[in-house]
A = this chain, B = another copy of it.
Amino acid sequence: MQQVCADVAPVVGTGVVADYIPALAKVPIDRFGIAVQTTDGDMACAGDAREPFSIQSIAKVFTLTLALEHRGDALWSRVGKEPSGDPFNSLVQLEHECGIPRNPLINAGALVVADCLVSDHPRPLDTLLQRVRSLSDAGVHYDDTVAESELATSDRNASMAHLMKSFGNLENPVKAVLDTYCYQCSLAMDCCALASAFSYLASGGVHRGRASNTGDVVRIVDPARARRINALMLTCGTYDRAGEFAYEVGVPAKSGVGGGIVAIVPGRGTVAVWSPGLGPSGNSLAGVEALKRFVSLTGWSVF
């Protein structure tokens, strides 16, 4: 862990902080945190691993998990499972493919997933928050400033939502879907909470919590679904750099423009990293570097 921090130090502070949302642009670029939770329940962390940040697109994995609970495989008639090959906010494929987004981890797909939550839960944002808190800790919260900031600059997402609506692929009014989507992106949590919250994907679908000697084991998804969500993360989780990430790092992961990345090593554990400086594809530069080093040192790769 210390080795990783040392190796990554020169990269921390490089790149650019996401500036399309004013509230995100204010985050200091020199932060770096890392947390590892093994499937045995051990947790280790370093750097700014206790500082909460906006998880942004990482939330798409939580909402996908929730949507699959209600919709099952029927969800896949409304969203695909293929890498997009285009930037995360592109409308080109969406038009060519009649409003069916390529996968649930790009914005358009996550809007469809948010639409499902709006239909399936009376208070979808409460449901989501309870779920994430139950998987990590009670400190997780929505950052209203970020959410409102995001709503005020959501024309691109509104454009996608209206396009899908025009193709009949939204059940609810665009405004309700956008509200839910922007709030889910504003979820704030720290690296430790993130590593804990995603541990069910490393453990065949069960969550043990961070101090799980009390035996509070909860099944979140069945083993096949855990494998499948991991597969989606590997092929689609890091924007249009998923191929490069799989090649260089080699584990399922989901990144967010807040600078966080969570990686899953099935049977081993989860790794959450955070550093706000982004590369051209919207992935944290120091975060990718840290995962590369970590995997190289530990041999934790799926390949």
Contacts and interface: CB of A to CB of B under 8 A. Distances in A.
Contact of A80 (B102, B243, B250, B302): B243
Interface string A198-242: 000000000000000000000000000011101110111000111
Interface residues of A, number: 49
Contacts of A43: none
Contacts of A84: 85
A227 B302 CA distance: 8
Query: Most B CB atoms within 10 A — which of A83, A236, A240?
Result: A83
A19 B170 CA distance: 21
A194 B93 CA distance: 36
A265 to B, nearest CB: 10
Given A83-B83, A231-B246, A266 B155 contact: no
B159 A166 contact: yes
Contact of A95 (B82, B91, B103): B91
Interface of A is mostly: helix
B85 A93 contact: yes
Contacts of A252: 303
B240 A82 contact: yes
Nearest to A228: B247
A75 B245 CA distance: 17
Interface string A239-260: 0111110111010100000000
